[in-house]
Structure 1
Amino acid sequence: MHECGMHDNEKKNIIAIQTLRNSIMGSTLMATTSILLSAGLGAVISSTYSVKQPINNSVFGAHGELMVALKYVTILCIFLFSFFSHSLSIRFINQVNMLINCPQDPDSVVTPEYISELLEKGFTLNTIGNRLFYTALPLLLWIFGPLLAFLFSLTMIPVLYNLDFVFGCNKQGKTEHQINTCGDCESQ
């Protein structure tokens, strides 16, 4: 009976470590994408390539030198901050990965509370990095004009809202803003 409990605990430990590893991989992908887009934008900003003036600036937006520079620099800064947030997230989650199995010593600085704080910082920075990245996507379309940026923002708001809020159900089948822990609404 005791071995079964230990075996279950080992499975939970493996799942926890795999979850941390997957979070690190996701942050690495986002950080890499952010820095590659930053490098590409940096190359565009520093090149002598010029965009032709569109016929109708009211649809495509202003393409004067100052406005184009403002658009590129804004997007570049957002991608750089996204990269910075994801890099720090990777750092904190890697620390958690290494410290999570340290032996418990009452005099040690490494306590479960300390590890929990590191984990929270890592996931908070990951969320900030993702939000910055998502903010930069409509701004990329801003290069081509305000109409595309506005339309993309309108479509992105409901998507992000549904990602942020999980709709669960209570015992009467009424929808609530919570994590769905009761299973399918139809089954109750």
Structure 2
Amino acid sequence: MEEKLLDCFLVPAGLLLFTLYHVCLLYCIIRYPRSTVIGLNAESRYQWVLSMMTDPLKNGVLAVQTLRNNIMASTVLATTAITLSSLISVYSIRYYAHVSFLATLPTSVGKRDSIEYVARNLNRGSFFWSVGLRAFYLSFSLFLWIFGPIPMFVCCCIMSVILYFLDTTTSFTRHLHTCAFKDAVKPDNLESSV
């Protein structure tokens, strides 16, 4: 009887915590996009599309390969958490496939509306990919429910804290992201990568 009581309390509490975190994250993405990694990535993807489409003959293969890798990652995640993200994966893959055609079209620098259209579709695809990834995280928490409500609740709590550090750009997390970026791109490493 005690385990049933724990199921009735901890499972909804864990799911509520996970849901509340994502509602707060969605609010931040809409109102303060630069305070989230998702918003910063959207800006970066816009710049990427701009650079890819300014010289499609030079960057066409790179653009298609990059999008192909994202399609493969989306497919793997969708098949892993098929019951939660099967519909989401269709949109994630659809937008990436659509952008793979559009990003290789020759366009002049003056036609910003076509570049913005491609960047908007790429960001939509990335958004659906992110939603599919979140469904995968939720499926892991639900999987742990097999072992009882306590592991499931603990997983929801730990995952919400980890996602907070991965999703936000507060002063503490910004410092972590900046240090990781500075370590990856050092001036002496820059010459070897080129």
TM range (shorter): 0.5 to 0.7
Taking the TM superposition and a 5 Å limit, the aligned residue runs for 1:8-157 are 10=58, 12-35=59-82, 38=83, 79=84, 82-104=85-107, 111-157=114-160
Distance 1:149 1:86, change over 3 A: same
The answer to whether the 8 Å contact 2:63/2:104 transfers is no
Structure 2's unaligned 5+ residue stretches are 1-53, 187-194
Larger radius of gyration: 1
1:132, distance to aligned residue in structure 2 (A): 1.6
- CA offsets, 1:89-108, max 9 Å, x none? 10000000012122449xx9
Aligned to 1:183: 182
Distance 1:95 1:160, change over 3 A: same
Paired AA for residue 150 in structure 2: L
TM-score by length of 2: 0.53
Paired AA for residue 176 in structure 1: H
Structure 1's unaligned 5+ residue stretches are 1-5, 39-78, 170-174
1:24, distance to aligned residue in structure 2 (A): 0.4
Q: Distance in 1 between matches of 2:66 and 2:115?
A: 18
Which structure has more RCO (C-alpha within 8 Å, separation ≥ 6)? 2
1:143, distance to aligned residue in structure 2 (A): 3.5
Paired AA for residue 80 in structure 2: T
TM-score by length of 1: 0.55
Q: Distance in 1 between matches of 2:66 and 2:180?
A: 20
Kindly, what percent of the aligned residue pairs are identical?
34
Q: Distance in 1 between matches of 2:79 and 2:87?
A: 11
Secondary structure, counterpart of 2:74 in structure 1? helix
**Aligned residue pairs, count:** 127
CA RMSD in angstroms comes to 3.6
Paired AA for residue 116 in structure 2: E
Higher helix share: 2
Aligned to 2:5: none
Q: Distance in 1 between matches of 2:102 and 2:92?
A: 15
Aligned to 1:71: none
1:16, distance to aligned residue in structure 2 (A): 2.9
The answer to whether the 8 Å contact 1:24/1:93 transfers is yes
Secondary structure, counterpart of 1:102 in structure 2? coil
Aligned to 1:63: none
